Amino acid sequence: MLTGHLAGNIARPGSVGIIFVIPILYCCQMPENQNNPAALPNDFAFDVGLENFEERVIQPSFEVPVLIDFWAPWCAPCLALKPMLEKLATEYNGRFLLARVNSDEFPQIAQHFGVRSIPSVKLMKGGRLADEFNGALPEGEVRAFIERHVPPATTSQREQAAALIAEGRFEEALPILAEAMQTNPGDEAIRLDLAEVIMELGRLDDAQTLISGEFQQEADRARTLRARLALADNPVDKAKLAELETRLATNPDDHAARLELANAQAGAMKYREALDSALEVVSRDRNFNDGAGRKAMLQFFEALSGNERFDDLVREYRRALSATLN
């Protein structure tokens, strides 16, 4: 039996607190070997048992919804649902909590909630059971379930900055991201957002400092940002640009000059112009210098990938390159 206080506070929707003890019918056969679950990712997801159920589930449910995930380490659907729920708990950033109950270790809790099979997810609000679902549902259905109960999201500093960046208002986004990074110094996404804004403002050394070191969660984005920074780190002065343009006006088939111009344009963050110049080389002579025009475009694609601002541009020129080569 659960403690008297706990049993008296758990009620099913529409009930008067009468709880039936029902044997649990498990989802699959128990294998000989069981693996311990991986550690949970953050303060929004945690294991609970008899000792801390009131503290970690009932009391917080008066502030935010609490999802209770009934599972067992040998249950394959449970292990499929686990990472999705953990990801959503992290993504929702405290708008709900995820409490995980091992039904093998704490059958009393499962029985008091009327769990008949696992995985089974119960949602508590205000100390009472408010909703539930059973089985490993698709992520879209789980999101819809959560959205029915969580409070509205507030706009984060990163979202505020993203809206300004989309409008090209980098100076205004800078202090917002700087403050966000000070608050969350370990957030790699914010760090890269800040580096990108600083790079757009021409502060290349500062951007280099921000993207130095190792990135665990944002490794791909850090790599592409370093590629963009490498392009911008070779500036070409106006006199050199004028010389290249004069050479091309005199001889449009001067592919070396056109590729040099493409790199200069990319260094000045004029990415459409750079892609146009490189594509022109491919169009005029795809085999020039062992396919240098195509290689330049691929280099530009890598530098621009992983950034929503450039997704449409990259798709447009990937199609153009494919059409030119075919």
- Would residue 27 show up in a list of annotated catalytic residues for this protein? no
Angle formed at CA 141 by CA 68 and CA 151, multiple of 5 degrees: 60
Task: State the Rg of the chain over Cα.
Answer: 28
- Would residue 75 show up in a list of annotated catalytic residues for this protein? yes
Identify the active-site residue in 57, 75, 124, 174: 75
Three-class secondary structure of residue 124 per DSSP: strand
Query: Residue 158 and residue 161: Cα distance in Å, rounded?
Result: 5
Q: In the numeric block, which tokens belong to residue 227?
A: 């590629």
Identify the active-site residue in 24, 72, 78, 192: 78
- Residue 197 burial (10 A CB sphere; 0-12, 13-18, 19+): buried
Helix (H) or strand (E) holding 317: helix 308-325
Report the phi/psi class of residue 53: left, alpha or beta, with left for phi > 0 and alpha for psi in -120 to 50.
alpha
Helix (H) or strand (E) holding 122: strand 120-125
| Helix ranges restricted to H, 93-131 | 107-112
- Residue 8 burial (10 A CB sphere; 0-12, 13-18, 19+): exposed
121 strand-pairing partners? 69, 133
Active site positions, annotated: 75, 78
